[in-house]
Amino acid sequence: SQQGEEDPQALSIQEGENATMNCSYKTSINNLQWYRQNSGRGLVHLILIRSNEREKHSGRLRVTLDTSKKSSSLLITASRAADTASYFCATDDSGGYNKLIFGAGTRLAVHP
Amino acid sequence: GAVVSQHPSRVICKSGTSVKIECRSLDFQATTMFWYRQFPKQSLMLMATSNEGSKATYEQGVEKDKFLINHASLTLSTLTVTSAHPEDSSFYICSAPGQGHTGELFFGEGSRLTVL
């Protein structure tokens, strides 16, 4: 079953703009991860934030986590056309080692 | 980084036949692998956890007799869709945790199954 919802479901922006995606979840977690999926391909891990962390950076990516609100956001700065993909959050709900439950995903389109 | 290879990437079969999908960890050992199913423009749904040397653990609502999982070695898990029907057409993706307990999963490239 899916853990939660992501919004927006779809996002269309111009190159150079920032893209923000949000994720909400329902249960307590060990960590929350963000993955990227190009159309028809497998998923690629982007970043992991642990439940005791509030913010994490990796290159042009910035992830925040608010465990009190059970929500996370992914910010991609200075977007590029190559960032066009679907982005999923996934939570490790402590119920099983590495057993991740994925959110609904945000389809990002970055136009040149 | 850890590499997971999935084969075949695409398969078309007739209704009633069985299809086997392989998932291999190429440069690391995986005692656990996960099988997901994804419908177009939707999220990944966890089907089952494949455990090396023991029975797979299936998620609620997933038919274990329909989706047979075998994890015979530390680098190979297979998913067999038995007596496939058109409604089984989907994108199937496997994943495995890397060594070092980082928490992240490494995914195969997925297998698109079309049942005619």
Q: Do B110 and A33 touch (CB under 8 A)?
A: no
Q: Are A110 and A19 in contact (CB under 8 A)?
A: yes
B46 within 8 A of B33, measured Cβ to Cβ:
no
Contact yes or no for B33/B6 (Cβ under 8 A): no
Which residues form the domain of A72?
A: 5-111
Convert the pLDDT of each residue in B53-82 to its tens digit: 899 999 999 999 999 999 989 999 999 999
For residue A12, the domain's CATH number is: 2.60.40.10
Return the amino acid letter for B18.
Answer: S
The string of pLDDT tens digits covering residues A8-36 is: 999 999 999 999 999 999 888 888 999 99
**B32–A97 C-beta distance less than 8 A:** yes
pLDDT band at B49 (very low <50, low <70, confident <90, very high): very high
Task: Name every residue whose Cβ is closer than 8 Å to that of residue B91 and which is 6 or more positions away in sequence.
Answer: A40, B37, B38, B39, B40, B110, B111, B112, B113
Parallel, antiparallel, or unpaired for β A10-14 and A106-111?
A: parallel
% of chain A exceeding 70 in pLDDT? 92
pLDDT at A1: 43
Q: What is the pLDDT of residues A30-76, one digit of tens each?
A: 889 999 999 999 999 999 999 999 999 999 999 999 999 999 999 99
Degrees to nearest 5, angle at CA B100 with A59 and B72: 120
Q: Are strands B19-25 and B76-81 parallel, antiparallel or unpaired?
A: antiparallel
Of the partner residues B45, B97, B107, the one whose CB lies closest to the CB of residue A98: B97
What average pLDDT is seen over chain A? 91
Smallest CA–CA distance from B92 into chain A, residue: A42
Number of domains chain A is built from: 1
d(CA B39, CA A96): 24
In A, which residues are within 8 Å of B91 by CB distance?
A: 40
Q: What is the residue-averaged pLDDT of chain B?
A: 93
A97 pLDDT band (50/70/90 cuts)? low
Residue in the block written with tokens 């994490």? A56
